[in-house]
Chain A
Amino acid sequence: MNASQASHTARSAIPWVTTVARLVLGGVLIAAGGLKIGNPADSVVAVRAYELLPEPLVTTVGYALPIVEVVVGVLLIVGLMTRVAAVVAALLMLAFVFGIAWAWANGLRIDCGCFGGGGQLGAGQEPTYLLDIVRDFGLVLLGAWVVRFPPGRFALDRPLGLAGAEHPLDDEENSDGQG
Chain B
Amino acid sequence: MGKAERSKTAREKIREQQAAERAREQRKKVVTYVTAGAVAIAAIGAGMWYTMSRSQSEQAGADLAPVTIQADGSVIMAKDGVTKPVVDIYEDFQCPACKELERVSGQTFKNLAAEGLAKVVYHPITIFGQEPTKGNSVRAGAAARCVPDGKQWVAFHDLLFENQPSETVEGFKTDQLIEWGKEAGVTDPGFETCVTSQKHAQAQLDYSDKINKRENLEGTPTVKVDGQMIDNSVVFTPKDLRDTVTEAAK
A-B contact count (CB 8 A): 77
Chain B positions within 8 Å of A64 at CB level? 44, 48
Chain B positions within 8 Å of A107 at CB level? 168
Contact B100 A45 (CB under 8 A): yes
Least Cβ distance of A55 to chain B in Å? 10
Chain B positions within 8 Å of A40 at CB level? 51, 54-55, 236
Contact B100 A81 (CB under 8 A): no
Contact B44 A161 (CB under 8 A): no
Contact A45 B97 (CB under 8 A): yes
Contact A161 B168 (CB under 8 A): no
Least Cβ distance of A111 to chain B in Å? 12
Least Cβ distance of B137 to chain A in Å? 14
- The stretch among B7-15, B31-39, B58-66, B242-250 that forms the contact with chain A is B31-39
Confirm or deny: A80 has a beta carbon within 8 angstroms of a beta carbon on chain B.
yes
What count of chain A residues pass the 8 Å CB interface test?
32
Partner of A63, one of B28, B55, B166: B55
Confirm or deny: A150 has a beta carbon within 8 angstroms of a beta carbon on chain B.
no
Least Cβ distance of B11 to chain A in Å? 24
Confirm or deny: A84 has a beta carbon within 8 angstroms of a beta carbon on chain B.
yes
Within 8 A of B (CB), among A65-84: 67-68, 70-71, 75, 80-81, 84
Please report the C-alpha to C-alpha distance between residue A162 and residue B28 in the assembled complex, in whole angstroms.
9
Q: In the complex, what residue of chain B is closest to A88 when comparing beta carbons? A: B40
Confirm or deny: A42 has a beta carbon within 8 angstroms of a beta carbon on chain B.
yes
Main secondary structure of the interface of B (DSSP, over half): helix
Confirm or deny: A153 has a beta carbon within 8 angstroms of a beta carbon on chain B.
no
Within 8 A of A (CB), among B8-54: 25, 28-29, 32-33, 36-37, 40, 43-44, 47-48, 51-52, 54
Chain B positions within 8 Å of A80 at CB level? 36
Chain A positions within 8 Å of B100 at CB level? 41, 44-45, 48, 118
Q: In the complex, what residue of chain B is closest to A38 when comparing beta carbons? A: B233
Contact A41 B55 (CB under 8 A): yes
Q: In the complex, what residue of chain B is closest to A64 when comparing beta carbons? A: B48
Confirm or deny: A49 has a beta carbon within 8 angstroms of a beta carbon on chain B.
yes
Q: In the complex, what residue of chain A is closest to B52 when comparing beta carbons? A: A63
Contact B233 A48 (CB under 8 A): no
Partner of A75, one of B29, B40, B52, B97: B40
Q: Can you list 5 A-B contacts with CB-CB less than 8 angstroms, sorted by A residue number?
A: A40-B55, A42-B232, A49-B96, A71-B40, A162-B32
Instruction: Please give the residue numbers on chain A whose beta carbons come within 8 Å of chain B beta carbons, in ascending order.
Output: 37-42, 44-45, 48-49, 51, 63-64, 67-68, 70-71, 75, 80-81, 84, 106-109, 118-120, 123, 160-162
Q: A81-B37, A108-B167, A118-B100 are in contact. List 11 more A-B contacts (CB 8 A).
A: A39-B232, A41-B100, A41-B101, A45-B97, A63-B48, A63-B55, A67-B51, A81-B40, A109-B167, A118-B97, A119-B96
